Amino acid sequence: MDVVINITELSQKQTKKEMQRIELEQKILDYIKTTYKAEYKGFLYVEQNGDVYTLILGIPSYMARTFITAEKSNDEEFLKFAYEELRTRNYVRQDVYKVVRTHGETEY
């Protein structure tokens, strides 16, 4: 019976941690939406290992991600840090290019 209780407690802790991670991610998405007036649809994930938080963004691409890591004592301090990083470093930006192909001779 003790084993079942311990497994249940562990499961509840994992669920709480997962909910906390989802809340942090949603707050960061909301910040991006209000600051840049755009909705970010790319890869975004928050990891926490003790006091070390890592925000992983799929920028410039999902294969070459950006990692923003900080050692903070609580979620609010990490969010302040992440907001400042997103604001000052301009990770979330949109570049639009027009590519025109021509069918002519190519010189090398």
Query: Is 49 a domain residue?
Result: yes
Query: Is 78 a domain residue?
Result: yes
Omega prior to 60 cis, within 30 of 0: yes
Query: Is 69 a domain residue?
Result: yes
Find the domain containing 84 and state its range: 23-89
Query: Is 10 a domain residue?
Result: no
Q: What is the pLDDT of residue 107?
A: 57
Query: Is 82 a domain residue?
Result: yes
| Region of poorest pLDDT, from 14-23, 51-60, 75-84 | 14-23
In the predicted structure, residue 19 carries a pLDDT above the cut 70: yes
Question: Residue 34's domain is classified under what CATH number?
Answer: 3.30.160
For residue 59, give the nearest of 88, 19, 89 by alpha carbon.
Answer: 89
25 φ, ψ (degrees, to nearest 5)? -60, -40
In the predicted structure, residue 99 carries a pLDDT above the cut 70: no
In the predicted structure, residue 1 carries a pLDDT above the cut 50: no
How many structural domains is the chain composed of?
1
Cα 28 from Cα 79, distance rounded (Å)? 7
Enter the pTM of the model: 0.70
Cα 94 from Cα 108, distance rounded (Å)? 32
Helix or strand or coil: residue 86? helix
Query: Is 38 a domain residue?
Result: yes
What's the one-letter identity of residue 83?
Y
Q: What is the pLDDT of residue 25?
A: 94
Q: What is the pLDDT of residue 74?
A: 92
Helix or strand or coil: residue 8? helix
